[in-house]
């Protein structure tokens, strides 16, 4: 009798644990029933293509959060990734428009992006600045510098080869989606299956315990900020491909969606921790919801409200399921 009661409670906890995901899927199902072409392969490809920049930036952010701990205020967070991404897009656009070869432009923007990562790492691991503060200030500074470089102008794509991320197909799959899938698998392997990744998670779980057992936490944390800067660099190219050029002001939306996807991803994971696959799933689902709401003709003014309510519901459910468990 008692055993069965416990069994029931366990089943309840599992059910509540899956509720965040169920709510998302139910919303998508509702969209699918109301707009028959939403559930087609073409549209799903569109959703994936739309989500690529966010997927790439959440890979970097989840590494940072895993190593720094998931307390948003005092733990690890990198808000500067979107700024790094637009910096890359800006430098590449300006240089290729001026007639420089793509390779040189890419090299220059890689240096600039990694410089942002180095400054983040120094501020956080040497000066012990709170990551939220350091990367927020860097976001403001980098966006400012990028606005000087690009003069806040829209620049059309000058390097045709970047467009192939959007247009070309390999085995019937868009090249961009394939590349991001490979990067995501690599990230999953290194962050969740390698010794480095396990050390990273140990550092994020309990910094003191990790240090006592001989993990060089500061070095790991610094590496994650460099990784995040590198992912920002890669994101820049996909933003150029998606918007067919550089458009000023893309960073604000990317920042909100990146943070949203990463922390929603934590609600999807069984232990409520930030994981790479959770963050990627979050990014794709957020893109799917945005496009889905548009297809069934929801007024665009309402999309933010629905997104905000979703954050609140999903995160509240994950807090409740933790208590039930």
Q: Which of 12, 22, 140, 170 binds other proteins (CB under 8 A)?
A: 140
Q: How far is the CB of 119 from other proteins (least distance, A)?
A: 8
The contact pattern for other proteins, residues 217-256, with x = CB under 8 A and - = no contact, is: ---------------------------------------x
Q: Which is nearer to other proteins, 215 or 315 (CB)?
A: 315
Binding piece for other proteins, criterion CB under 8 A, among 54-62, 188-196, 224-232, 258-266: 258-266
Residue 283, φ and ψ in degrees, nearest 5:
-60, -45
Residue 16, φ and ψ in degrees, nearest 5:
-60, -35
Q: Which of 5, 41, 98, 148 binds other proteins (CB under 8 A)?
A: 148
3-state secondary structure 176-230: HHHHHHHHHHHHHHHHHHCHHHHHHHHHHHCHHHHHHCCCCHHHHHHHHHHHHHH
- Within 10 Å of residue 295's Cβ, how many Cβ atoms? 16
List CB contacts of 229: < 8 A, sequence separation 6 or more: 60, 80, 81, 84, 113, 114, 116, 117, 118, 120
Answer positive or negative: Cα dihedral of 230, 232, 235, 236: negative
Q: Which of 138, 202, 227, 280 binds other proteins (CB under 8 A)?
A: 138
Pairing label, strands 169-170, 245-246:
unpaired
Q: Which of 29, 182, 312, 324 binds other proteins (CB under 8 A)?
A: 312
Q: How far is the CB of 297 from other proteins (least distance, A)?
A: 15
Is-contact 98 81, C-beta < 8 A? no
Beta bridge partners of 301: none
Q: Is 143 near other proteins (CB under 8 A)?
A: yes
Q: Which tokens belong to 54?
A: 């966010």
Q: How far is the CB of 320 from other proteins (least distance, A)?
A: 8
The Cα-based distances of 86 to 92, 96, 275 in angstroms read 10, 15, 25
Q: Is 259 near other proteins (CB under 8 A)?
A: yes
Q: How far is the CB of 120 from other proteins (least distance, A)?
A: 10
Closest CA to 22 of 69, 30, 255, 234: 30
Q: How far is the CB of 125 from other proteins (least distance, A)?
A: 12
Q: Which of 134, 158, 239, 276 binds other proteins (CB under 8 A)?
A: 134
Q: Which of 13, 35, 178, 315 binds other proteins (CB under 8 A)?
A: 315
| Cα gap 54→238, rounded to integer Å | 10
Q: How far is the CB of 309 from other proteins (least distance, A)?
A: 6
Q: Which of 12, 103, 186, 309 binds other proteins (CB under 8 A)?
A: 309
The Cα-based distances of 196 to 24, 185, 230, 279, 321 in angstroms read 33, 16, 17, 19, 31
Q: Is 301 near other proteins (CB under 8 A)?
A: yes
Binding piece for other proteins, criterion CB under 8 A, among 88-96, 107-115, 238-246, 294-302: 294-302
Residue 74, φ and ψ in degrees, nearest 5:
-105, -15
Q: Which of 43, 50, 100, 147 binds other proteins (CB under 8 A)?
A: 147
Q: Which residues are at the interface with other proteins (CB under 8 A)? A: 71-73, 119, 123, 127-130, 132-134, 136-138, 140-145, 147-148, 151-152, 256, 259-260, 263, 299, 301-309, 311-312, 315-316, 319-320, 323
């Amino acid at each position: 009798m008692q055993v069965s009661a416990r069994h029931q409670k366990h089943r309840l906890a599992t059910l509540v644990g899956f509720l965040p995901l169920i709510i998302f899927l139910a919303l998508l199902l509702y969209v699918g029933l109301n707009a028959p072409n939403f559930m087609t392969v073409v549209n799903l490809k569109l959703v994936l293509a739309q989500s690529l920049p966010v997927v790439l930036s959440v890979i970097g952010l989840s590494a940072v959060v895993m190593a720094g701990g998931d307390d948003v205020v005092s733990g690890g967070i990198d808000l500067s990734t979107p700024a790094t991404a637009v910096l890359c897009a800006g430098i590449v656009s300006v240089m290729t428009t001026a007639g420089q070869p793509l390779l040189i432009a890419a090299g220059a923007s890689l240096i600039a992006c990694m410089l942002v990562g180095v400054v983040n790492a120094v501020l956080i691991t040497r000066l012990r600045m709170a990551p939220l503060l350091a990367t927020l200030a860097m976001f403001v500074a980098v966006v400012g510098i990028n606005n000087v470089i690009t003069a806040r102008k829209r620049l059309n794509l000058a390097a045709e080869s970047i467009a192939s991320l959007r247009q070309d197909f390999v085995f019937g799959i868009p090249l961009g989606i394939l590349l991001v899938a490979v990067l995501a698998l690599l990230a999953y392997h290194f962050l969740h299956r390698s010794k480095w990744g396990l050390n990273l998670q140990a550092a994020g779980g309990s910094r003191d315990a990790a240090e006592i057992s001989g993990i060089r936490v500061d070095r790991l944390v610094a590496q994650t900020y460099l990784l995040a800067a590198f992912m920002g660099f890669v994101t820049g190219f996909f933003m150029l491909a998606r918007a067919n050029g550089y458009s000023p002001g893309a960073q604000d939306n990317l920042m909100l969606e990146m943070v949203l996807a990463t922390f929603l991803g934590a609600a999807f994971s069984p232990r409520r921790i930030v994981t790479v696959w959770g963050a990627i799933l979050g990014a794709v689902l957020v893109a799917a919801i945005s496009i889905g709401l548009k297809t069934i003709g929801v007024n665009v003014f309402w999309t933010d409200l629905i997104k905000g309510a979703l954050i609140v519901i999903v995160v509240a459910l994950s807090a409740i399921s933790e208590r039930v468990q």
